[in-house]
Amino acid sequence: MPNRVFITGIGAITPIGVGREELWRGALEGRRAVQRIDRFDPSPFRSQVAGQVNDFDPTWVLERKEARRTERFSQFAIAAAQMAFDDAGYTPRRGDPDVGIWIGSALGGVVYAEHEYEAYLRRGLGAVHPMLALSVFGAASCCNVAIHFGLHGPSVSNANSCAAGAVAIGDAFRAVRDGLCRAALAGGVEVPLGPLTFGAFDIIRAMSTRNDDPAGASRPFDAERDGFVMAEAACLLLLEREDDVLARGAVPYAEIAGYGLTNDADHMTAPRADAREAARAILTALREAGVAPASVDHLNAHGSATSLNDPTESKAIRAVFGSHADALLVSAIKGMMGHALGATGAVEAALCALGIRETTVVPLVNLKAPGPGCDLRYAPATPTPLRQRVVVSNSFGFGGINAALVFRAP
């Protein structure tokens, strides 16, 4: 028989808060954390703002030797994993073959490669860190988490662009449900704030140029939105099967009940205009969960604040929910922290789970007037008390990737 799968621990490193408590507090406050970039000189770029994590110290969880051996991408992953275990009251056992790791990231350790390439150009190969080759590949985060905790279960990385974190959670959910492992760490890690990587998105004019108002730059569904705001973040969830949750006496945040994944197969950057495949991803997740669209209380939108994505997502939501779309409360968190690419779907999943437990939907900030085609019932700029039995979270990415997750109250 398939196992029911529950979220029992949350580990988060985000611009609006580090740790589960600070993430929730920052989200409830509607904390707008986008700022002018200070990691590098942004003056050559049209966009000069980002969501930075300014208060992370790897020595919180890593010994100095391990901190020197890893870079920010893997450090974020290990720290988020430790936070998730701690939050769940779960002590991982070294040598455990039954705990898996699924981590999504659009870009992996590419920014570290940027840094080392600069050293190579200035001083030659001898100046390059010997761990470079072992740090930049996408699975470095999974592997370093496995090594740090001594976990021998499946270790899986995906690079499904901005849907990568949601895809990791969905794949891990099915692995635990189907008995591939008893528990899993799942989510996303992204550290994209380097000049070349940032500039690559600036070249294609995908990002906001509201440089004189950083806090108001990311504007999901707003008529004056002008692009997404890049951010860094990490979020890992501990997923456990029902028998183990009951045996431990753990109190879960939410149950993961459904997952849908489709591809537009249409364009690398633009969503399919008719939103057919985005809608199908949502319907697939609802079908797997055995949930009717009219039973959904809250939908966390991808809400990237781009001119094409927001109305297309709105079209997909209306296609799935019909008249219920007028009653469905829609939230979007990217106005607060920006868009952390492959990690954002995991942060949003964590906030959906926390919202179920706390019977609250977090604010949607920077939405003054919805743009054309963005005709949904949006969450206000203050917390909304709401008993949520079923929640849907959307994540869409470059390459036409559409992912949806369904959460239920435990």
CATH number of the domain encompassing residue 371:
3.40.47.10
Tokens 């501990």: give the residue. 238
Q: Please give the Cα distance from 283 to 275 (Å, whole number).
A: 12
Which one-letter amino acid corresponds to residue 291?
Answer: V
Retrieve residue 114's tokens.
């940027």
Range of the domain at 138: 5-248
Longest CA–CA span in the chain (Å) reads 64
Q: Please give the Cα distance from 50 to 197 (Å, whole number).
A: 13
Question: At which of 184, 219, 248 does a domain end?
Answer: 248
Q: Is the same domain home to 174 and 292?
A: no
Q: Is the same domain home to 292 and 189?
A: no
Question: DSSP letters along 349-397, please?
Answer: HHHHHHHHHHTEEPP--S-SSBPTT--SEE--SS-EE---SEEEEEEEE
The domain tally of the chain equals 2
Residue 253 in any domain: the answer is: no
Do the Cβ atoms of 408 and 173 come closer than 8 Å? Answer: no
Q: Is the same domain home to 223 and 265?
A: no
Q: Is the same domain home to 212 and 281?
A: no
Comparing CA positions, the residue from 173, 134, 196, 193 lying closest to residue 4 is 173
The pLDDT assigned to 231 comes to 98
Q: Is the same domain home to 47 and 78?
A: yes
Do the Cβ atoms of 73 and 93 come closer than 8 Å? Answer: no
Residue 23 in any domain: the answer is: yes
The residues annotated with a catalytic role in the active site are: 162, 302, 339
N-term to C-term CA, the chain: 19
pLDDT in 10s for each residue of the chain, 410 residues: 789 999 999 999 999 999 999 999 999 999 999 999 999 999 999 999 999 999 899 988 888 888 888 999 999 999 999 999 999 999 999 999 999 999 999 999 999 999 999 999 999 999 999 989 999 999 999 999 999 999 999 999 999 999 999 999 999 999 999 999 999 999 999 999 999 999 999 999 999 999 999 999 999 999 999 999 999 999 999 999 999 999 999 999 999 999 999 999 999 999 999 999 999 999 999 999 999 999 999 999 999 999 999 999 999 999 999 999 999 999 999 999 999 999 999 999 999 999 999 999 999 999 999 999 999 999 999 999 999 999 999 999 999 999 999 999 99
Question: At which of 230, 248, 266 does a domain end?
Answer: 248
Question: At which of 223, 248, 273 does a domain end?
Answer: 248
The pLDDT assigned to 295 comes to 98
Residue 237 in any domain: the answer is: yes
